[in-house]
Amino acid sequence: MSKTKTHRTTPWFDEINGDVLQNILERLPAAWFASATCVSKQWNRVCNRILSRPKLASALSLNPSLDIAVKEVFDKVLSEPIRPHFAIANIGSGFSLINAFRLITKRLGPSTPLIVSIASGLIGREALTNEFREVKPDSEGDGYVEDIDTGIVFTLGYVPGLKVDAIPLLRTAKEPQVAMTDKFLKDIKGYTASVSGCTSPVGIIMFGERLVDLKPHIDVLDYALPEETVIVGNERGKFLYRSGNETRNVSGRTKSDAIALIFARDKDKSSGIGDIQFHVALSNGVSAVGPIYKAASVRVNKADCTTGLTAKREGDMDILDGQRILDDIYDEMENHTDESPDLYIGVTKRRKYCIESEKSRLITSLALHGVIEGNEEYLYVNGVNIKTGDYFQFYHSDSNFALSSSSDAYVNLKSLKKEVFGGLIFACCGRGESFFGRCNVDSSPLLENFPGVPLAGIFCCGEIGRGPSSLIGESYKEKSAHCCMHVFSTVYLAMSYTSACLEC
Nearest CA to 348 among 378, 376, 369, 323?
Answer: 369
Return d(Cα 57, Cα 81) in angstroms, integer: 10
Q: What is the pLDDT of residue 305?
A: 84
H helix intervals, 58-152:
66-77, 97-108
Query: What residue ranges in 172-209 does DSSP mark as E strands?
Result: 203-209
Strand, coil or helix: 300: strand
CB 198 within 8 A of CB 229: no
Confidence of residue 504 (pLDDT cuts 50, 70, 90): very low
Mean pLDDT of the chain, nearest integer:
87
0.75 surpassed by pTM: yes
Question: In sequence order, what DSSP letters do the residues of 422-446 get, joined into one string?
Answer: EEEEEEETT-SHHHHSSTTTTTHHH
Residues 275-285, mean pLDDT to the nearest whole number: 95
With a CB cutoff of 8 Å and minimum separation 6, the contacts of 432 are 121, 134, 136, 144, 145, 441, 442, 459
Q: What is the pLDDT of residue 137?
A: 82
Question: In sequence order, what DSSP letters do the residues of 385-404 get, joined into one string?
Answer: ---TT-EEEEEEE-HHHHHH
Amino acid identity at 456: A
Question: Which DSSP symbol is given to 336?
Answer: -
Could you tell me the sign of the dihedral formed by the alpha carbons of 485, 459, 419, 277, in that order?
positive
- Per the DSSP assignment, residues forming a β-bridge with 365 are 349, 482
Return d(Cα 301, Cα 322) in angstroms, integer: 16
Instruction: Answer yes or no: is pLDDT of 70 > 80.
Output: yes
pLDDT in tens, 87-141: 999 999 999 999 999 999 999 988 899 999 999 999 999 999 999 999 988 655 4
Residues 28-57, mean pLDDT to the nearest whole number: 73
Could you tell me the sign of the dihedral formed by the alpha carbons of 272, 278, 279, 283, in that order?
positive
Q: Are strands 419-428 and 490-498 parallel, antiparallel or unpaired?
A: antiparallel
Q: What is the pLDDT of residue 81?
A: 81
Q: Are strands 306-313 and 379-382 parallel, antiparallel or unpaired?
A: antiparallel
Residues 252-259, mean pLDDT to the nearest whole number: 81
CATH number assigned to the domain covering 287-397: 2.40.30
Output the CA–CA distances (angstroms, integers) from residue 36 to 39, 50, 356, 418, in the order listed. 5, 12, 50, 32
CB 168 within 8 A of CB 241: yes
Q: Where are the domains of the chain?
A: 21-51, 56-139+147-285+399-503, 287-397
> Which run of H or of E encompasses 220?
helix 215-224
Instruction: Answer yes or no: is pLDDT of 503 > 50.
Output: no
With a CB cutoff of 8 Å and minimum separation 6, the contacts of 240 are 97, 98, 101, 115, 116, 117
Instruction: Answer yes or no: is pLDDT of 185 > 90.
Output: yes
Residues 48-55, mean pLDDT to the nearest whole number: 78
